[in-house]
Amino acid sequence: MTGKILIADDEAHILHVVSLKLRNAGYEVITAIDGEEALDLCMIERPDLVITDYQMPLVSGLELCRALRANPATREVPAILLTAREFDIEPEEIREARISAVMAKPFAPRELLVKVKELLAVREPAGNE
Amino acid sequence: MSETMATMLTTTRMPSGLSRTFVHLRGHLRELGLSMSIWDSHARAVGRFQTCCRLCQYVHGSGGLCVASASGLAARIVGAGQAGMSQAPCGCCLVGVPVHQRRRLVGAVVACYPPREMFQDESFIRLCDHLQLDRSTMLSAVEAAARHSAAEAEDFLRILGWTLGREQALGTAQEELGNLSANLSSTYEELNLLYAVSGAMSVMRQPREFLLQVCTQLVDVMSISAAVGVIHERPSAPAEVMVAGKIALESAQLDAWLARHVLPRIADNRPVLDNAFEDCGEGFGAIRGFVAVPLTAEGRSLGMLVAINKRHGDFNSVDSKLIGSIGNQAAVFLEYIRLYADMKDLLMGVLHALTASIDAKDTYTRGHSQRVAMISKRLAEECGLSADKVQRIYLAGLLHDIGKIGIPESVLRKPGKLTVEEYETVMCHPATGAKILGGIRQLEDVVVGILTHHERPDGKGYPRGLKGQDVPLEGRIIGLADCLDAMTTDRTYRVALSLVQAVDEIRRNTGTQLDPMLVEKLLSIDLAGLMRELDRAEYDPGSLNGGMEDAQ
């Protein structure tokens, strides 16, 4: 597996668990402990996929995704939103921020990996064209 | 100035989450002979300013030269976001580094020490004069504290930077470990709840008892005020409500709340989560939030499970997933219990219909099978047999005469003495009964009682003439029950004996026709009471299931 994935979550154990799963699957992983750091890292590192928590200090996962869409350099990067409060997010907001998948906590790292592979596989041929 | 400074020193707070780091850092620096001050992102002092030596105490007390220098350095550091050094007018060396938290500059720490050179040049003399202190007294007091030279300041700056970095990393790691442990602990609790629920399924047959236990566990694991389990035939039917934990609502109010606010919202069979339940003046103010899941099996609504009022914070998807999973398990289990009860009812219905058809051949023996079943059950209980065994004996009692289906009614209803041939026909019924039911795997052990209920301790019984303890207990129990009922009901050949006469007759036949041990058990029972019970059962079809009620 190839691809650079950015994970943003203020809960360190989620970062550890998800990083481990993705690194073991062969991905390059970078982590951020809040939305602001994630946004900075996205601009510098240009990840192929972003996995972000919803509730984070400074910049929420939703705001992060909106900011990514607003910048031409990161407009197309697929995003997965992790959340324990999916009921707080309107489907409209998910669509507008072009979030590819929402996973409710507690999620199985295995399922997340499947989703990641799926999203990166879709993206790959598009990049080759 | 000193007063304003003193006020400032106590009003600013440390950036949260760093106090452990600062305590450790200060300890390390103290060992090296350095004092430490903490400054916030506006270069305001945090906490009390600690002086590094006796001289500094005087300086600080009299005008705050050191404080002013440290404050100036802190302002430079937070302004540039870079480490820096300076020297106080008194001669003290100051080194400082910026403090970052979550990548944000939150302040600075400044370390300070009196260098050896400080006491060797003129500035010291001038300072003492300025403060009107005796030079030699001061010198002896502070010289011991002067362990380092001014040239070492650069090394200290590096050490300060490294130590702060390490302490912060350690603090973060410890905090992460704490959170991780807390998470792991609650995950274990949730896992254990799932184990407990599946464990409860293997030992419980009562839906109410099962659901109440599930609710009790939910209260602990989810950290909620109360958990409510509801079982209903259909959503509109009256429900049974089980409550674990505490909720300040009368049971009628709780029922009303469930009916008005919960049931309609789970109608589409999905969990409902509400963290801001609004009471519209209906008296449900005790409820702040809830998660509810419907209990459904194959599209049929069986009830619901409701978690009420999270003790800390809000309900989240972790809660709704957990209660959803428990709800699914519970629903499957409740459905199985219902199906099991249905099957049991069907089986008993069929068996009763079968025996009723035998009894119908002989009007004199109407209800005989049922009565023998009940007396046998009572005797089996008296013998201390297991609930399962008691139930099998009940069934054997119920079916003991099934073989009579092969005997012509003319023989069964014959008022006078039977011919030898006729008697031989009658004697076939245990074997016929055993043959009829022999093909049913689940009734294999029941067949024993049917086959041997006319054997006798003295070996004069039939069909095989077994003797004493060779007659299986099932056969001996049903034989005695059969005998008692035959004596106490009217027959074609005589009217019913009174209970006293029957007991005499039983005593007379003990050891020959009847098993002495069982007779003793029978006579220890309140027989008059048992007879009344049998009479009642005859008119109450509901009691026909008596033998199966508590079967596990």
A45/A52 Cα distance (integer angstroms): 15
Q: Which of B275, B317, B319 to mutate to test the interface with A (most CBs of A within 10 A)?
A: B317
Count how many residues are written for chain B.
552
**Residue B214 token pair:** 């599930």
Note whether B11 contacts A: Cβ–Cβ < 8 A: no
Note whether B490 contacts A: Cβ–Cβ < 8 A: no
Are residues A34 and B102, on separate chains, in Cβ contact within 8 Å? yes
Band of the pLDDT at B65, cuts 50, 70, 90?
low
Amino acid B64: pLDDT: 60
Are residues A105 and B183, on separate chains, in Cβ contact within 8 Å? no
Over residues A61-81, mean pLDDT? 95
Q: How far is A120 from chain B (nearest CA, A)?
A: 27
- Give the DSSP H/E element, type plus range, for residue B86: strand B84-87
Q: How far is A72 from chain B (nearest CA, A)?
A: 26
Q: How far is B316 from chain A (nearest CA, A)?
A: 5
Are residues B103 and A36, on separate chains, in Cβ contact within 8 Å? yes
In terms of CA atoms, which chain B residue is nearest residue A106?
B318
Are residues A106 and B273, on separate chains, in Cβ contact within 8 Å? no
Q: What average pLDDT does the structure give for chain B?
A: 86
Closest by Cα among B86, B79, B143 to B110: B86
Strands A101-104 and B104-113: unpaired
Amino acid B8: pLDDT: 42
The larger pLDDT score, comparing residue B357 to residue B231, is at B231
pTM for the model stands at 0.69
pLDDT, tens only, B238-297: 889 999 999 999 999 999 999 999 988 887 777 899 998 887 788 888 999 999 999 998
Contact B324, B271 (CB under 8 A): yes
Query: Using a CB-CB distance cutoff of 8 angstroms, which residues of chain A are in contact with residue B187?
Result: 106
**Residue B257 token pair:** 């709340």
A110/A116 Cα distance (integer angstroms): 10
Are residues A86 and B317, on separate chains, in Cβ contact within 8 Å? yes
Query: Using a CB-CB distance cutoff of 8 angstroms, which residues of chain B are in contact with residue A13?
Result: 176, 179-180, 183
Closest by Cα among B294, B296, B258, B293 to B277: B258
- CATH 1.10.3210.10 intervals, chain B: 362-545
Amino acid B60: pLDDT: 59
- CATH 3.30.450.40 intervals, chain B: 204-339
Note whether B103 contacts A: Cβ–Cβ < 8 A: yes
Closest by Cα among A29, A15, A2, A39 to A117: A2
Query: Using a CB-CB distance cutoff of 8 angstroms, which residues of chain A are in contact with residue B103?
Result: 33-34, 36-37
Phi, psi of B283 (to 5 degrees): 90, 20
Amino acid A129: pLDDT: 38
Band of the pLDDT at B235, cuts 50, 70, 90?
confident
Over residues A89-113, mean pLDDT? 93
Q: What is the CATH number of domain B362-545?
A: 1.10.3210.10
B370/B363 Cα distance (integer angstroms): 14
Are residues A12 and B176, on separate chains, in Cβ contact within 8 Å? yes
B319/B221 Cα distance (integer angstroms): 10
Q: Is B408 exposed, middle or buried (0-12, 13-18, 19+ CB in 10 A)?
A: exposed
Query: Using a CB-CB distance cutoff of 8 angstroms, which residues of chain B are in contact with residue A86?
Result: 317
Contact B482, B373 (CB under 8 A): no
Half-sphere exposure of B467 (CA within 13 A, CB side): 2
Number of continuous H segments (helices) and E segments (strands) in chain B:
20, 10
Mutual orientation of helices B135-143 and B122-131 as an angle, nearest 10°?
120
Query: Using a CB-CB distance cutoff of 8 angstroms, which residues of chain B are in contact with residue A36?
Result: 103
Residue A102 pLDDT > 50: yes
Phi, psi of B272 (to 5 degrees): -120, 135
Are residues A13 and B317, on separate chains, in Cβ contact within 8 Å? no
Note whether B317 contacts A: Cβ–Cβ < 8 A: yes
B371/B377 Cα distance (integer angstroms): 10
Q: What is the CATH number of domain A4-123?
A: 3.40.50.2300
pLDDT, tens only, B68-110: 888 999 999 999 999 999 998 778 899 999 999 878 899 999 9
Contact A77, A83 (CB under 8 A): no
**ipTM for the whole complex:** 0.81
Over residues B383-403, mean pLDDT? 93
Query: Using a CB-CB distance cutoff of 8 angstroms, which residues of chain A are in contact with residue B318?
Result: 84, 105-106
Contact B284, B261 (CB under 8 A): yes
Contact B485, B494 (CB under 8 A): no
Look up tokens 């009682």; give the residue: B449
Are residues B317 and A11, on separate chains, in Cβ contact within 8 Å? no
Residues with Cβ within 8 Å of residue A29, at least 6 apart in sequence: A4, A5, A6, A7, A18, A19, A22, A23
B37/B26 Cα distance (integer angstroms): 9
Q: Taking the CB of residue A116, how many other CB atoms lie within 10 A of it? A: 24
Query: What are the b/e assignments for B91-113, b being 16+ CB within 10 Å?
Result: bbbbbbbbbebeeeebbbbbbbb
B476/B466 Cα distance (integer angstroms): 11
177-206 in chain B: CB under 8 A from chain A:
179-180, 183, 187
CA dihedral B1→B6→B10→B13, nearest 10 degrees, is 40
Look up tokens 């073991």; give the residue: A24
Q: How far is A118 from chain B (nearest CA, A)?
A: 24
Are residues A37 and B103, on separate chains, in Cβ contact within 8 Å? yes
End-to-end CA gap in chain B? 86
Q: What is the CATH number of domain B204-339?
A: 3.30.450.40
Q: Is B221 exposed, middle or buried (0-12, 13-18, 19+ CB in 10 A)?
A: buried
Note whether B346 contacts A: Cβ–Cβ < 8 A: no
With an 8 Å Cβ cutoff, the interface of chain A facing chain B consists of 11-13, 16, 33-34, 36-37, 57-58, 83-87, 104-106
Amino acid B9: pLDDT: 43
Residues of chain B above pLDDT 90, percent: 51
Query: Using a CB-CB distance cutoff of 8 angstroms, which residues of chain B are in contact with residue A106?
Result: 187, 318, 321
CA dihedral B166→B167→B172→B178, nearest 10 degrees, is 130
Contact B451, B431 (CB under 8 A): yes
Contact A83, A54 (CB under 8 A): yes
Residue A12 pLDDT > 50: yes
Angle, CA B37 vertex, CA B32 and CA B40 arms, to 5°: 145
In terms of CA atoms, which chain B residue is nearest residue A56?
B102
In terms of CA atoms, which chain A residue is nearest residue B274?
A87
Amino acid B357: pLDDT: 84
CA dihedral B199→B202→B206→B209, nearest 10 degrees, is -20
Angle, CA B454 vertex, CA B452 and CA B458 arms, to 5°: 100
Note whether B209 contacts A: Cβ–Cβ < 8 A: no
Q: What is the DSSP string of B95-122?
A: EEEEEEETTEEEEEEEEEE--GGGGTSH
B390/B375 Cα distance (integer angstroms): 11
Phi, psi of B84 (to 5 degrees): -160, 165
Report the CATH architecture of B2-173. Answer: 2-Layer Sandwich (3.30)
Residue B450 pLDDT > 80: yes
Q: How far is B176 from chain A (nearest CA, A)?
A: 6
Query: Using a CB-CB distance cutoff of 8 angstroms, which residues of chain A are in contact with residue B171?
Result: none
Note whether B312 contacts A: Cβ–Cβ < 8 A: no
- The beta-carbon neighbor of A84 closest among B176, B179, B317 is B317
- The beta-carbon neighbor of B321 closest among A12, A58, A106 is A106
DSSP structure class, residue B405? G
Size of interface A-B (CB pairs under 8 A): 39
- The beta-carbon neighbor of B179 closest among A12, A85, A105 is A12
Half-sphere exposure of B303 (CA within 13 A, CB side): 27
pLDDT, tens only, A30-55: 999 999 999 999 999 999 999 999 99
Over residues B499-526, mean pLDDT? 93
Dump strand ranges (E) for B287-375: 290-297, 300-310
Residue B207 pLDDT > 90: no
Query: Using a CB-CB distance cutoff of 8 angstroms, which residues of chain B are in contact with residue A18?
Result: none
A97/A95 Cα distance (integer angstroms): 5
Q: How far is residue B284 from each of residues B209, B229, B249, B255, B258, measured CA to CA in Å?
A: 27, 18, 7, 11, 10
Amino acid B354: pLDDT: 86
Q: What is the arrangement of strands in the sheet containing A79-83, beginning at the earlier edge strand?
A: A28-32, A4-8, A49-53, A79-83, A101-104
> 3-class SS at B14?
coil
**Residue B111 token pair:** 């370390």
**Residue B373 token pair:** 């079943």
- The beta-carbon neighbor of B179 closest among A11, A84, A105 is A11
